[in-house]
Amino acid sequence: MDERELTGIGATPLSGIGTARWYRPDADLALPDPDPEGDGESDADFDPATERERFENARERAREDLETERDRARERVGEGESEIFDAHIQFLGDPQIESGVSEAIEGGYGAEHAVQRAFEEPISQFEGMDGRMAERADDLRDVRDRLLRVLLDRERTDLGGLPEGTVLLADRLTPSDTVQLDPEQVRGFVTATGGRTSHAAIFARSLAIPAVVGVGDALSEIEEDEEIAVDGEEERIVVSPGAATRERMKRSENVDTRSEPVSTADGEEIEIAANVGRPTEIEGAIDRGADGIGLYRTEFLFLDRDAPPEEDEQRETYADALDTFPEGRVVVRTLDVGGDKPIPYLDLPGEENPFLGERGIRRSLDPDGELFETQLRALCRAAGSGEGELCVMVPLVAAIEEFEDARERFEAVLADLDREGIEHARPAFGVMVETPAAALMAGELAERADFLSIGTNDLTQYVMAADRGNERVTGLHDPRYPAVLRAIRSTVEGAQGTGAWVGMCGEMAGDPALAELLVGLGLDELSTSAVTIPEVKAEIEGIDRERATALAERALGATTRAEVSDIVTRKEVQDT
């Protein structure tokens, strides 16, 4: 059979070949027409009180399931990505949807049809928007279908148990669907809808699964069990691939990982590290050519247990990571928890806005002080046991006093270890810059810190006053806004002349299209999801520092996100 090619949007720069299997989750959620006569009234006889109770019970069950999936997603795809499930929990209590359900029930509809009717208008509203906002309709569908499955007592398809060699085809994949996929079994997935910023695409990058989204209606022409080649880098899929395509895919699968450090075209070395959320991700980072770990999240050590990890357990975990990069650097972020991350043995407050509450360093300096000191002891001991360079980074610093207090405790821990005669070393001690206050005070922080690492996900959230988990303001959560770029520049300039290096962790660092801009802004290190490391390294090698600096100056002079996007896309440098 001849090859057939379809084009879409590449979600990951990866490729794979496998057998097509269709996923049609709506098939088991079809509801009978409650108004066959078309007069706007339900012909069934429902008791409103009973139906309202059924809805409340379903909503509570859906909330519990979402919390469980959020925790699983945090382990599999990372902390930031898992926050979409917090947004889904918010949708469950959305006043517009709740009011729609109540009105439909009062109008004589059962809970199932009431849910279906209540979600119709909000989904339609999102679908009528542009860009990333249109993709939020899938999140609402996910929440709606979750409620319907509870009300109809239907089980969702287990996508975690797909046969090996599967290429999954679907009209759309929700976050709940995508997070189930096993990269060892799935050779790729393809969707008719979606874009590069959809949650399915983001999860695909975190899981390192080849994916092409937004293929359109032509995808429906592919039949079950046909052989499919998914080429995320070339943004296409090939049905019934021939020998030449197979050979090309085989070469593509053998990624040019560039295990050695890379330099710009004019010889300036830029470290490209990996963001890691648990030890099992380290091997993948090495395979993709990471120079080290630029963000090692430690929350996995503290979650899903009844008591905090002992010092020795922590030391061993950190030392193991250090051993994997004997000539590199491992940056470990101290425990970053708050009211949005339930840990049973900690007294975490239920806060109206936990992202502006007691979290990160604020907890480490007060209610979790003993936990913080134990973690520092383990990190200092790990630093003395390996050949690599261990760095300790404290999160959510907003005041000089906070970092000074943290540093005093760090020095006290080192003194205690000296006095006790326990083998250890002094790791570099730095700040995660993710608040506007830290960016504005970067010079003063750099005088006291060994390094600064910019967390662009949260920095964008706070600079733009746009909650990362609130789908209604997701358009503002974009680091290409001039205000965010100027906060980054403020951080870099503040560190100049202090001896502190400046890195970046977050999704912005993993976008190859922004690599030249980031080099021009003066970053020494970029840390990203492992799957994008080869592409970022390849981009770095072609960058001229002088041209990059000129590009950054133009972007910093822009006044809108659209202007910045245009400058970065065209990469035109005007003579000054």
Domain spans in the chain, listed from the N-terminal domain onward: 4-25+157-253, 30-152, 263-570
And the tokens for 155? 């089980």
* Residue 1: per-residue pLDDT: 63
And the tokens for 255? 């990624």
Q: Provide the pLDDT confidence category of residue 576 given band limits of 50, 70 and 90.
A: very low
Average pLDDT over residues 74-86: 74
The share of the chain scoring above pLDDT 90, in percent, equals: 57
Average pLDDT over residues 227-243: 89
* Residue 355: per-residue pLDDT: 79
Domain 30-152 is of which CATH architecture? Answer: Orthogonal Bundle (1.10)
* Residue 277: per-residue pLDDT: 84
Given 88, 380, 424, 505, which residue is catalytic?
505
Rounded Cα–Cα distance for residues 524 and 526 (Å): 7
Q: CA dist 29 to 112, 152, 420, Å?
A: 10, 8, 64
CATH topology for the 4-25+157-253 domain: Glucose Oxidase; domain 1 (3.50.30)
Rounded Cα–Cα distance for residues 571 and 544 (Å): 12
Beta bridge partners of 236: 7, 231
Beta bridge partners of 331: 391
Q: Is 199 an annotated catalytic residue?
A: yes
380 φψ region: left (φ > 0), alpha (ψ -120 to 50), beta (else): alpha
Nearest to 228 by CA among 437, 1, 55, 460: 1
Does residue 505 contact residue 292 with C-beta atoms inside 8 Å?
A: no
Check if CATH label 3.20.20.60 holds for domain 263-570: yes
pLDDT at residue 41 tops 70: no
Q: Provide the pLDDT confidence category of residue 341 given band limits of 50, 70 and 90.
A: low
pLDDT at residue 5 tops 70: yes
Average pLDDT, the chain: 88
Q: Provide the pLDDT confidence category of residue 287 given band limits of 50, 70 and 90.
A: confident
Given 88, 113, 199, 424, which residue is catalytic?
199
The share of the chain scoring above pLDDT 70, in percent, equals: 91
What does the pLDDT look like over 537-548, one tens digit per residue?
Answer: 999 999 999 999
Average pLDDT over residues 346-375: 88
What does the pLDDT look like over 306-330, one tens digit per residue?
Answer: 899 999 999 999 999 999 999 999 9
Average pLDDT over residues 432-450: 98
Q: Provide the pLDDT confidence category of residue 574 given band limits of 50, 70 and 90.
A: very low
pLDDT at residue 236 tops 60: yes
Does residue 28 contact residue 154 with C-beta atoms inside 8 Å?
A: yes
* Residue 572: per-residue pLDDT: 47
Phi, psi of 367 (to 5 degrees): -65, -25
Q: Provide the pLDDT confidence category of residue 37 given band limits of 50, 70 and 90.
A: low
Q: Provide the pLDDT confidence category of residue 56 given band limits of 50, 70 and 90.
A: very high
Q: Is 505 an annotated catalytic residue?
A: yes
* Residue 386: per-residue pLDDT: 75
* Residue 255: per-residue pLDDT: 52
Nearest to 276 by CA among 206, 186, 209: 206
Rounded Cα–Cα distance for residues 496 and 557 (Å): 21
Choice between 46 and 409, residue whose per-residue pLDDT is larger: 409
- Tell me how far the alpha carbon of residue 251 is from its chain's centroid: 28
Alpha-carbon dihedral angle through residues 47, 48, 50, 52, given to the nearest 10 degrees: 160
Choice between 45 and 509, residue whose per-residue pLDDT is larger: 509
Q: Where are the beta strands (DSSP E) in 57-124?
A: none
Does residue 169 contact residue 190 with C-beta atoms inside 8 Å?
A: yes
What does the pLDDT look like over 101-140, one tens digit per residue?
Answer: 999 998 888 999 999 999 988 888 877 765 556 667 778 8
What does the pLDDT look like over 254-267, one tens digit per residue?
Answer: 556 788 999 999 99
